[in-house]
Amino acid sequence: MHQRTWIFLAAASAVICAVSARADTAPDFTSDVRPIIAHHCLKCHGPDDAARKGKLRLDVRDTALAKVESGDFAIVPGNTQRGTLLKRIFSTDDDEVMPPPGTKNPLTDAEKQTLKKWIAAGAPYKEHWAFVPPVQAPLPAVKQADWPKNPIDRFILAKLETEGLHPSPPADRATLIRRVSLDLIGLPPTPEEVDAFLADTSPDAYEKVVDRLLAGPHYGERWARRWLDLARYADTNGYEKDRARSIWPYRDWVIRALNADMPFDEFTIEQLAGDMLPNATLDQHIATGFHRNSMLNEEGGIDPLEYRWKAVIDRTNVTATTWLGLTLGCAQCHTHKFDPIKQSEYYQMVAFFNNCDEPTIDVPQPDLKARKNEIEAQIAAKTADLPNEFPAYVQAMEWSTPAPVSVISAGEATSKVLPDGSILFGGKRPAKDSYTIAIDSGLSDVAALRLEVLKDPSLPNGGPGRSENGNFVLNQITVSLAPRDIKPGAENSVAIAHAQADYSQDQYPIESAIGKDSKTGWAIDSSDGGPQNHAATFTFAQWSGLAGGRWTIHLEQSHGEGHVLGRFRISLGRHPPQNDSRPLAEQRHEALQKSFEAWVKEASETAVKWTVLRPVDLKANAATLHLLDDNSVLASGDQTKRDVYDLTFPPPLQKVTAIRLEAIPDDRLPNHGPGRIYYEGQFGSFFLSALTLTASGRPIGFSHAVQTYADRENTAAGAIDADPLTGWGIGGGQGKPQTAIFSLSKPLDSAGDLALSMVFEKYYSAPLGRFRISVTSDPRTMVAPDVPVDVEEILTIPAADRSADQRDRLMAHFLSIAPELGPQNAQIAALRASIPQEPTTLALAERPLSELRPTHIHHRGEYLQPTDLVQANVLSILPPLPPGAPHDRLSLARWLVDPRNPLTARVTVNRQWAAFFGKGIVTTLADFGYQGDTPSHPELLDWLAVEFMKQGWSFKRIDRLIVTSATYQQSSRVSPDLLDRDPQNRLLARAPRFRLEAELVRDYALDVSGLLSEKIGGPSVFPPQLASVTTEGAYVPFEWKVSTGEDRFRRGLYTFMKRSTPYAMFTAFDAPTGEACIARRDVSDSPLQALTLLNDEVFVDAGRALGKLAAAQGGDDAAKVTFLFRRCLCRMPADDERAAVLSFHAAQQQRFVSRELDPAPIAGDSSPDAAAQASWIVTARALLNLDETITRN
Amino acid sequence: MKGSMRSPVDPFAVTRRHFFQQCGVGVGKIALASLLTEAFAKTASASASLDPLAARQPHFAPKARQVIHLFMAGAPSHLDLFDYKPALVKYEGRPIPPEITGGQRYAFIRSDAAALGPRFKFSRYGQCGAEIAEVLPHLGSVADDVCFIKSVHTDQFNHAPAQILFNTGFSQPGRPSIGSWVTYGLGSESSNLPAFVVMSTGDGISGGSDNWSSGFLPTLYAGVRFRNAGEPILDVSSPQGIDARLQRDSLDLIGTLNRKRLASDGDPEIATRLASYEMAYRLQTSAPELMDLKSESKSTLDLYGCEPGKPSFARACLLARRMVERGVRFVNIYHSGWDAHSDVFGNHTNNCKATDQGAAALVKDLKQRGLLDETLVIWGGEFGRTPMVESNASLHRSLGRDHHPNAFTMWLAGGGIKSGFSFGATDELGFNIVENPVHVYDIQATILHVLGLNHQRLTFHMAGRDFRLTDVYGNVIQPVLA
């Protein structure tokens, strides 16, 4: 409300006026006059040309003294009679008085007098203080010379002395160590640390504590959380879907950088433009996550370019807030009403951020590297060894079917063995069943087991399963063997290395029947074409040497309702004996060559000869298309909901019968491509809704299409039908090359140019990222290729012409698919799947200058109303970019931390100061413009800003300077007089006292109760909270899967930050949501906070743990109270405090002992100690709720 | 205990001065000090306007004291419920002329999609003869108490931004919601319940908690969610094993130690904390009392058609009535699920079934208790739906409608609003507004107006300027004011 603002200003200027407007000296322009003009005049008489009234502009002296519209002068320096300004402000006529009454923003008498005195003194202007580079003034003289400990104190004391105030006495040492510990690392000192400090009488005892804290690993955690407020860090995308994102490596980078005391200039450059540094390191790429913390809207149907633009606007505004302390965002819609920033300058700043791509990058983890290398080495070794694994003789397996000796159905189905050795089930049909079949066989060296599932008229739908449609799901098969010569029951399990079936239902592959996951299984949908027999073969990992005995086969079927087997037959297989006496290696080699040649022959016959086409012209409506060396095309830049790629090719070979589209993965694409989907859909896939071809301008018809893979019904045929809603999608097939072949209705005989158009249209953006086009004149009907493109190409070369490399490539491919090497290749595949996935993070990548996105001014800031084009440039009120520097993001970052920039160092030290004193020297941490607060100690702010730069932009040095000052070490107690004189404590005649931040409130309770985990970094965690917090009302209910083990008790900054439904405890304590850049958190006090501390699970856990610790302490009850005070408050209790607590404790203990109240739910168990424990638990709980506990004194 | 708890500093004197001098910044820090003691309560009136949650004078005489906003998230179709367009039947199956559809952006359909006729029969209801789809019979029965605005439009064509725009005046998260502005402007009339309450039924809400966020206003003004499952307010129940007496004893010990600290340190913030704990304690009783529908008569329960223990939109409406009776200032009930991209008929049949009786019962119930005059009831979504059909076999959609920001219908009832009245009109296809366009900013301005607040004067200074709910827009819709 206006009233509110007014009261604040009055209070603020009361202090300042008391200092500066002594006697009748002329008012100071900066501290006295400009604030009046800024608040009362500039909205209509300021820098905004459009809003200006009467052609009077008052923020610049030249224009203020010029003739105005009426022909008069507003200000005549030195003359209080002539100018119209004074006449108008002193007027009592409502039509004439300024500011107009309608603005409800009248000048006070004092303000009018100030303006009058200022004009009388010649109306001197001074540049706005914040835009003048800071210099270190000589330290002021003070009377109480023994008080200052460092230069900070000289400035503070000098002002106190002018005001006739005295500093407060030093805080007591227990309070001081708690304060500095909370401030520097966000955690309280342990009782032992307090004792050590109290006992240390050396003169530098305090400095030793400070240095220990600065050097410790928790410093970076404490200060990272504050920086993350500015970075608007969160673990989800925001908006409607608010899906999870992985950007915690950026959070960990901040912690590391702050722990290492990375100089703030480097810290800045790496976050804003680390990607553009020469030979940028992985860390420097990770650092650019700062600006990837902007939100991503994944709502169906949005315009992706609009939200990209919004992210760019956000980056611009956040940069201005964080480094310049300017409300630059005001100039998005119109020239700034108060600060001299034109709307065009706003968009010049936007242009710096408008030229990025937004990649997701892998973040290899050092601790995974060894494991990864080890697996990769195993894969390489196994691959190299494949030829030596090839069976020495290749002959059909010999199968025999011994009659089962027993068949047991756990679900009590009936069974009978048929003459062919198969088993038929009937009778009861339980929802789930497991069959155990026993077979006696004298065969040794059994290498495989075959399961034939057989149809039978007695089964539903003809079988082979017993479900309504004749299907079944075999969840797991296990085999064991008891050799004859040992006791029954002493069975050895027989490992199955490999499973193969002649048919598996989609999503129910045979491999799942031998996997560990018993929720999956093998099935054979028999919906089309009636019942069918099928067979599965299970090859044993080791067979040589297996003697005969009793085989037990266990078939687990636990899927859905009655998906059990109806009829099947089990056979055992062994390799026939061999009579070849040649060395094994020779036989092996011969077998391999034989199989290989056979495969090459067959594959060569079906291979199609393709000719890759090199486009001569590439166009897209939004993206930039790049032609790569291999004639493939890579898309980058913008993308829309309807992307169209137009490619022109020179006349191809004659009689083209089909064209081939290779979709090629690429690390530059989301999820490695081949598509560019980055929101809403499956990242890295694409959706080709239409593909059309014209030759010499004539449309060419297609007959059919095939593809290597399609996401369900989204086959390539959908791209050549007339329906724009159908198309080819490969969701689930990302990261691998995918190919579609489109056959022409009739061979093309034209020799003209070929034009190919591809439309990617969906309600979200789904274009291809990298692809290549080829044609063939092969007259055969095209089928989906089953070999890689390069292998197919080699296969089309006559055998005699193949190079050694090409033959090796064919052999390598054959070895990877040879059925004889199934078990070995399955092992390799399993190894590959076990390679640990590296985490990813979001980063920026600058586009080359040749692909600069144009940046426009936007009328009223509207996305849909671009007007004039602008070039990237910095604000004219600040120093220009160095001559010759490119106008790009890296130059901008360097410019921000150029010592000539008057704002960055001031804004940064001011924010740092505010962290220690509750408010800044400039209270408006994010506004150093004309409307911002005037500094309470301008010389101190400048001195600190310069010192910060002199000290190599070191946070730790500035922090040390601040906490070792006498100002910082004062007591925070306040007398009524002082509270009356300086309620906001701007003069710092005492230390401030404020509530801990949300995360620290929780950290504190966990730490003093001994629960807090010390682990630093890693993926975000999910401490306990009610499930409904992230489900009720959330558009996409989010399962808050509570972490286990120490992750329940990690520091608050590791809690998963969900933007739309944040962790409830933090919300209650004013934590930000990550939706906006926050320079200063609100500090509220509400009943919901009380409810949280009293009743929330985290605090119940902490109270219980702390109470149990107290109960376990030696000594009497008074000693236990002392223990709790030392833990919670880092001090001893006063006598009356101890008495109050003891009396509470005694009363509760009485209730528990008498069982008036059951102690078990409180103690968490019903041990005999429960009553004693519960009484201390509820006592600890009360102490954790004290104002003092959650306050930094 | 030694000496007076107030020595050496009189915390209350300090607190009052502190209020006067500091309220311009961090106003949230000084919540509820007026609840501290009887003694202070007597002098509280003098400083009431400075307590962030104390009831405050509006800018001018209000028509309404409280608001119940029934937010139909997902966007109901104006064309099928309120804005009958026979021409759509005529055009059905044919594309709408491009000169009408213009350069409109769509979420899912193409602009050449065919027209789709109304999915329901319409009838005339009440003396005013309001034309309403037959699927809303209960609303029909209160037609004479309601004001239809058939010409609302918005800037956003996606759910989350449009919902957030409707509630906060800005399409991206970060600004305060209407409920927060109202609480900030008028304070609370209940010391036992939150001033701004949010409930929801149906599917999840696209805009999520940003719809009831306090944005840059102190967190204290954020909507407090009443949950359907478990305890109504998070942590409102004491932990297992802690009975009322233990909770009271604990608060007494906490209070004793805090007061001692206040006496020695002199920080008025401690007084605020004392007050917060007392209100928390009262909330532990008042929240269950509020949720307990035992005292409601069978006829009331029948009127709403709700079962006491079962969460439903109707039950939320009944709870809303109980809340406004107890001084809650602003109630939001979200019912999400109107996003009928497919099968408008089925979707709207179900959603009407879920909401019609409860919403109408709320109007009737408030009226019969004499509360309707002082309570503004609002019903509506974030935008309308296209006259064109949405169908897409690959998304399994047919006979649906896409998002349409150009025109939609809302209804208002009670406090300060004309009844049995209809305002604004769309063209023959319901595509564009042809008469009395009403932007969502105008709705916002009007809501504030009936509460006695001038939307241009209700501002908060931040980042260099005065922010307000209606940004730089908004006009009170004078013709709908009673």
Q: Kindly report, residue by residue over A314-339, the tens digit of the pLDDT.
A: 999 999 999 999 989 888 888 887 78
| pLDDT-derived band at A143, boundaries 50, 70, 90 | very high
The contacts of residue B2 (CB under 8 Å, 6+ apart) are A1136
Tell me how far apart the alpha carbons of residues A1140 and A1112 are, in angstroms, rounded to a whole number: 21
| pLDDT-derived band at A544, boundaries 50, 70, 90 | low
More confident residue, A786 or A1053: A1053
CA of B365 to nearest chain A CA: how many angstroms apart? 26
The contacts of residue A488 (CB under 8 Å, 6+ apart) are A482, A550
Identify the closest residue of chain B to A1178 by CA–CA distance.
Answer: B250
> pLDDT value at position B31?
35
Q: Going from the N-terminus, what domains does chain B have, and what CATH number goes with each? A: 53-234+294-480 (3.40.720)
Phi-psi region of B305 (alpha: psi -120 to 50; beta: other; left: phi over 0): left
Mode of pairing for the β-strands spanning B224-225 and B196-202: parallel
Cβ pair A1151:B246 closer than 8 A: yes
User: A1082 near A1070, Cβ under 8 Å?
Assistant: yes
Beta bridge pairs of residue A536? A451, A501
> Which range has the worst mean pLDDT, A127-131, A512-516, A533-537, B120-124?
A512-516
For the segment A982-1004, what is each residue's pLDDT rounded down to a tens digit? 888 999 999 999 999 999 999 99
Q: Which of A994, A1028, A1091 to mutate to test the interface with B (most CBs of B within 10 A)?
A: A1091
Q: Which of A316, A1084, A1137, A1184 to mutate to test the interface with B (most CBs of B within 10 A)?
A: A1084
User: A206 near A193, Cβ under 8 Å?
Assistant: no
User: A498 near A820, Cβ under 8 Å?
Assistant: no
Cβ pair A1187:B256 closer than 8 A: no
Tell me how far apart the alpha carbons of residues A1176 and A1121 are, in angstroms, rounded to a whole number: 9
> pLDDT value at position A490?
64
Q: How far lies A206's CA from each of A219, A880, A991, in Å? A: 17, 44, 17
> pLDDT value at position B10?
34
Mode of pairing for the β-strands spanning B66-73 and B330-336: parallel
Share of chain A above pLDDT 70, in %: 96
A1075 to chain B, any CB pair closer than 8 A? The answer is yes
For the segment A576-602, what is each residue's pLDDT rounded down to a tens digit? 766 777 787 888 898 899 999 999 998
The partner residue sitting opposite B26, judged by closest CB among A1035, A1083, A1136, is A1083
> pLDDT value at position B7?
30
Cβ-based neighbour number of residue A411 at 10 Å: 17
CA of A637 to nearest chain B CA: how many angstroms apart? 22
More confident residue, B471 or A793: A793
Tell me which amino acid residue B374 is: E
Tell me how far apart the alpha carbons of residues A131 and A133 are, in angstroms, rounded to a whole number: 6
- Phi–psi pair at A316, nearest 5 degrees: -65, -50
Cβ pair B266:A1064 closer than 8 A: no
> pLDDT value at position A530?
67
Tell me how far apart the alpha carbons of residues A1108 and A1179 are, in angstroms, rounded to a whole number: 11
More confident residue, A506 or A185: A185
Tell me how far apart the alpha carbons of residues A1045 and A1042 are, in angstroms, rounded to a whole number: 10
For the segment A344-371, what is each residue's pLDDT rounded down to a tens digit? 999 999 999 999 999 999 999 988 888 9
| pLDDT-derived band at A680, boundaries 50, 70, 90 | very high
A1148 to chain B, any CB pair closer than 8 A? The answer is yes
A1186 to chain B, any CB pair closer than 8 A? The answer is yes
User: Strand, coil or helix: what is A738?
Assistant: strand
CA of A780 to nearest chain B CA: how many angstroms apart? 31
| pLDDT-derived band at A63, boundaries 50, 70, 90 | confident
**Sign (positive/negative) of CA torsion A724, A730, A736, A742?**
negative
Among A63-72, A456-465, B209-218, B445-454, the range of highest mean pLDDT: B445-454
> Which range has the worst mean pLDDT, A494-498, A923-927, B468-472?
A494-498
User: Strand, coil or helix: what is B368?
Assistant: helix
**Model confidence at A16: pLDDT above 90:** no
Give the DSSP H/E element, type plus range, for residue B448: helix B440-450
Tokens found for residue B34: 């007026």
Cβ pair B394:A1089 closer than 8 A: no
Phi-psi region of A360 (alpha: psi -120 to 50; beta: other; left: phi over 0): beta
Concatenated DSSP letters of A522-538: EE----SSS---EEEEE
Q: Which of A1187, A1188, A1193 to mutate to test the interface with B (most CBs of B within 10 A)?
A: A1187
Mean pLDDT of all residues belonging to chain A: 91
User: A489 near A507, Cβ under 8 Å?
Assistant: no
| pLDDT-derived band at A484, boundaries 50, 70, 90 | low
Residues in B closer than 8 angstroms to A1124, CB to CB, are none
**Sign (positive/negative) of CA torsion A614, A616, A619, A625?**
positive
C-alpha dihedral (B118, B121, B122, B125), degrees to nearest 10: -150
The contacts of residue A593 (CB under 8 Å, 6+ apart) are none
> pLDDT value at position A724?
87
User: A1127 near A1008, Cβ under 8 Å?
Assistant: yes
The CA-based angle A693-A696-A698, given to 5 degrees, is 55
Residues in A closer than 8 angstroms to B258, CB to CB, are 1186-1188
> pLDDT value at position A526?
58
For the segment B55-81, what is each residue's pLDDT rounded down to a tens digit? 888 999 999 999 999 999 999 999 999
For the segment A1039-1057, what is each residue's pLDDT rounded down to a tens digit? 999 999 999 999 999 999 9
Q: How far lies B162's CA from each of A303, B386, B402, in Å? A: 14, 15, 14
Tokens found for residue B355: 């909401």
Cβ-based neighbour number of residue A48 at 10 Å: 22
| pLDDT-derived band at A545, boundaries 50, 70, 90 | low
Tell me how far apart the alpha carbons of residues A833 and A836 are, in angstroms, rounded to a whole number: 8
Tell me how far apart the alpha carbons of residues A278 and A287 are, in angstroms, rounded to a whole number: 15
Residues in B closer than 8 angstroms to A339, CB to CB, are 464
The average pLDDT across A962-985 equals 93
> Which range has the worst mean pLDDT, A659-673, A888-902, B102-116?
B102-116
ipTM of the shown complex:
0.81
Tell me which amino acid residue B376 is: L
The partner residue sitting opposite B208, judged by closest CB among A242, A727, A1144, is A242
A334 to chain B, any CB pair closer than 8 A? The answer is no
Q: How far lies A673's CA from each of A291, A677, A739, A790, B420, in Å? A: 23, 8, 13, 19, 59
Cβ pair B29:A1083 closer than 8 A: yes
Tell me how far apart the alpha carbons of residues B158 and A1036 are, in angstroms, rounded to a whole number: 16
The contacts of residue B310 (CB under 8 Å, 6+ apart) are none
The average pLDDT across A301-320 equals 96
The contacts of residue A32 (CB under 8 Å, 6+ apart) are A16, A17, A20, A21, A114, A118
Residues in A closer than 8 angstroms to B279, CB to CB, are 1087, 1090
Tell me how far apart the alpha carbons of residues A760 and A623 are, in angstroms, rounded to a whole number: 12
Tell me how far apart the alpha carbons of residues A390 and A816 are, in angstroms, rounded to a whole number: 11
Instruction: Find, among A350, A312, A297, the residue nearest to B172 by Cα.
Output: A297
Q: Where are the alpha helices (DSSP H) in A1012-1096?
A: 1064-1068, 1087-1095
Share of chain A above pLDDT 90, in %: 67
Stretches in chain B below the pLDDT threshold 50: 1-50
Residue with tokens 């020297």: A921
The partner residue sitting opposite B160, judged by closest CB among A297, A975, A1087, is A297
Give the DSSP H/E element, type plus range, for residue B402: strand B397-404
**Model confidence at A1082: pLDDT above 90:** no
The average pLDDT across A785-801 equals 94
The average pLDDT across A759-766 equals 96
Beta-carbon contacts below 8 Å between A and B = 314
